[in-house]
Chains A and B, each alone.
Chain A
């Protein structure tokens, strides 16, 4: 038979039972659409995680006390005592360090906080005015810690919005009131704007006090928990890291970088750590994609098996009229190809539309991977053709009368 003849026979046979054809196509559409949508959504959320980490500040370096450790593994913060306020001041003022924009010395501990009848356990962060600039903190009302507060060891506090709602209730304005931290009374001078985040990343559950106050009055230490450094730009990050590193080695009279009593981490290191997490994420995604491929494939397999087996009698009739095995197999192959091509294209459109809509609803970036589209169509199409062909081949092997009697 000619190709046009084969195609028109297949089309006619498909049109004979429109409902069955529609259902088979639907099965393929859903199988392929689900895979494309799931994989693309997974990749979108992966991108979202990465961009969130990068939004923390791409020009931020953090110097931590403690021995140099390998890779991105980080020691307990505040564990060492090797960094001092003088180190921070020297970094800022040294002519050797040219690529640093601002330096924020920090000391952070957790403490019990009481206001009126309420109390909470939160992070107390001793800082200077530079912190707001380096960590991109804005104040919602009142003002942030100023240099004079640090110089005068003032008992003032700036509250994060989470602490305000914990101690004073939602939407309260606590400025001018006081809180007791470790039994010491602090006047509230400001509330920061919400930065979001949750769990250990919650940047709203925090109280800022002047660094000197935290060191001398609250915790009785003279070292720093960490130093945050803003490089002048993202491009000079590695240069800034080297400058600060060698400067501190020299200041601490250490000749071998392996003996360094501090660690410098950049956002890149954080990304490195995060990529371990996103690696797991990618595995999860591949798992989801595989399961949806499997489910979609089984759906297609079922509908193809059922539709073809249902037509065993038709195979018998065609054979009794002189169709050869080849004619039958060719016809069913053509039908399966038409079904999978039409269903594949529709499924692709459905999958792309679905992932687009969901990415807008969940405000995720929209991505589409060619690999997942090809994989979905390839696997589902293959399954559709194999399971459209296999029962047809089996039916074509029966004697016409066996096929005609088939129920």
Chain B
């Protein structure tokens, strides 16, 4: 599904070069639930942005579903971000003062889906993340956990094969974090490939595979045999 080969990312800023990633290679199979861990500045977010086709590596190749992402045009990248990847940000990144429904409908609008179908699918997804009764709340009327669930519903709008989450629980209390991680587990069970960045070991324990990064390099890539499962409490 995902194959990165010798990827490096170097930021040059006023003659100072910062190496965010250096020569990283790994692959992720379809349906895997992977946690990427590491201290801040280890390059986790940069890696995630490259995987999400939001950023491009300085060197190396990234093959997604058999296509080399670096060789795609701007519009082809837009289609990948729209249909293949659902991205969940640490800061939720919802449109401010916009209802949950409209936020979830956004990717479907860019896919050109008919309006009626969009509304139905958005309601269905919001119900799935437990926000069926908050469809018309605007983003600033929702708590952090609720906003993140709207963001997850949005990432699922086009039923993407891959869900990428960059510290999805970073801004949340532990209980809300557990709720969110349970949703990811469920998605993984349904066959989505899930990659989650976290620096909280309890969150990472839910993944079946953990990749540790330090200073832009993979220091450990191990299977998590005793991964924990949490039950979702319905709201």
**Chain A residues, CB < 8 A from B109:** 1, 5, 9
CB nearest neighbor in A for B75: A324
**CA A273 – CA B74 in complex, angstroms?**
66
A121 CB-CB contact with B under 8 Å: no
**Bound complex: CA A401 to CA B54 (Å):** 6
CB closest residue in chain B, given A396: B74
Question: Do A16 and B95 contact each other (CB < 8 Å), given the known contacts A322-B110, A322-B111, A322-B158?
Answer: yes
Which of A74-82, A313-321, A347-355, A358-366 lies at the binding interface?
A313-321
CB distance from A118 to the nearest CB of B (A): 78
* CB closest chain-A residue, reference B102: A12
What string of 1s and 0s marks CB contacts (under 8 Å) between A299-327 and chain B? 00000000000000010011111111111
CB distance from B153 to the nearest CB of A (A): 12
Distance in angstroms between the alpha carbons of A226 and B102 in the assembled complex = 86
Q: Does A384 contact B (CB under 8 A)?
A: no
Residue B56 at the chain A interface, CB threshold 8 Å: yes
Residue numbers in A under 8 Å from B56 (CB-CB)? 399
Which residue in A1, A321, A325, A399 is a CB contact (below 8 Å) of B75?
Answer: A325
Q: Which of B81, B95, B96, B98 touches A322 (beta carbons < 8 Å)?
A: B81
Known contacts being A320-B52, A322-B111, is A314 close to B95, with CB within 8 Å? yes
- The reply on B87 being an interface residue by CB < 8 A is yes
Q: Which residues of B contact A318 (CB under 8 A)?
A: 106, 110
Residues in A with CB closer than 8 Å to B102 are 12
- Nearest CB of chain B from residue A107's CB, rounded to whole Å: 84
Give the residues from 315 to 343 in chain A that come closer than 8 angstroms, CB to CB, to chain B.
317-327
Q: Which residues of A contact B52 (CB under 8 A)?
A: 320
Q: Taking the complex as formed, is A191 at the interface, i.e. its CB lies under 8 A from any CB of chain B?
A: no
Q: How far is the CA of A324 from the CA of B95 in the complex (A)?
A: 17
| CA of A321 to CA of B113, assembled, Å | 14
Q: What residues of B have a CB within 8 angstroms of the CB of A314 in the complex?
A: 95
Q: Is B97 interfacial (CB-CB < 8 Å)?
A: yes
Q: Does B141 contact A (CB under 8 A)?
A: no
Judge whether B97 and A324 touch: CB under 8 Å. no
Do A327 and B55 have beta carbons less than 8 Å apart? no
Contacts between the two chains (Cβ within 8 Å), count? 64
Chain B residues bordering chain A, tally (CB within 8 A): 28
**Interface flag for A377 (CB, 8 Å):** no
Residues of A within 8 A of B111 (CB): 322
- When the two chains form their complex, are residues A322 and B83 in contact, meaning their CB atoms are under 8 A apart? yes
What distance in Å separates the Cβ of B160 from its nearest Cβ neighbour in chain A? 10
Q: In the assembled complex, how far is the CB of residue B100 from the closest CB belonging to chain A, in whole angstroms? A: 14
Instruction: Please tell me if the beta carbons of B82 and A325 are within 8 angstroms of each other in the complex.
Output: no
For the complex, give the distance between the alpha carbons of A17 and B87 in Å. Answer: 26
Q: Identify the interface centre among A9, A317, A320: most chain B CB within 10 Å of its CB.
A: A320
Q: A5-B109, A401-B49, A401-B54 are in contact. Are A323 and B93 (CB under 8 A)?
A: no
| Docked-complex contact B96 and A323, CB < 8 angstroms | no
A225 in the interface (beta carbon within 8 A): no
Determine whether A400 belongs to the interface, using a CB cutoff of 8 Å to chain B: yes
Whether the Cβ atoms of B98 and A320 lie closer than 8 Å is no
**Contact residues in B for A5 (Cβ distance below 8 Å):** 109, 115
Shortest A230–chain B CB gap in Å is 76
Contact B54 A323 (CB under 8 A): no
**A404: Cβ under 8 A from any B Cβ:** yes
CA gap between A322 and B75 in the complex, in Å: 9
User: Could you say which residues of chain A place their CB within 8 Å of the CB of B54?
Assistant: 320, 399-401, 404
Instruction: For B78, give its contact among A1, A323, A401, A402 (CB under 8 Å).
Output: A323
For the complex, give the distance between the alpha carbons of A405 and B45 in Å. Answer: 12
Query: B residues engaging A (CB < 8 A)?
Result: 49, 52, 54-56, 74-75, 78-79, 81-83, 87, 93, 95-98, 102, 106-107, 109-112, 115, 154, 158
The 9 closest A-B pairs by CB, nearest first: A322-B82, A324-B78, A401-B54, A400-B54, A322-B110, A401-B55, A321-B107, A401-B49, A322-B81
| A residues neighboring B (CB under 8 Å) | 1, 5, 9, 12, 16-17, 314, 317-327, 399-402, 404
With A1-B112, A325-B74, A326-B75 given, name 19 new contacts (CB 8 A). Answer: A5-B109, A16-B97, A16-B98, A319-B81, A320-B54, A320-B87, A321-B82, A321-B87, A321-B107, A321-B110, A321-B154, A322-B79, A322-B81, A322-B82, A324-B74, A324-B78, A325-B78, A327-B110, A404-B54
Instruction: Provide a sorted-by-A list of 27 A–B residue pairs whose CB atoms are within 8 angstroms.
Output: A1-B112, A5-B115, A12-B102, A16-B96, A17-B97, A314-B95, A320-B52, A320-B93, A321-B81, A321-B82, A321-B87, A321-B110, A322-B78, A322-B110, A322-B158, A323-B110, A324-B75, A325-B74, A325-B75, A325-B78, A326-B75, A327-B110, A399-B54, A400-B54, A401-B54, A401-B55, A404-B54
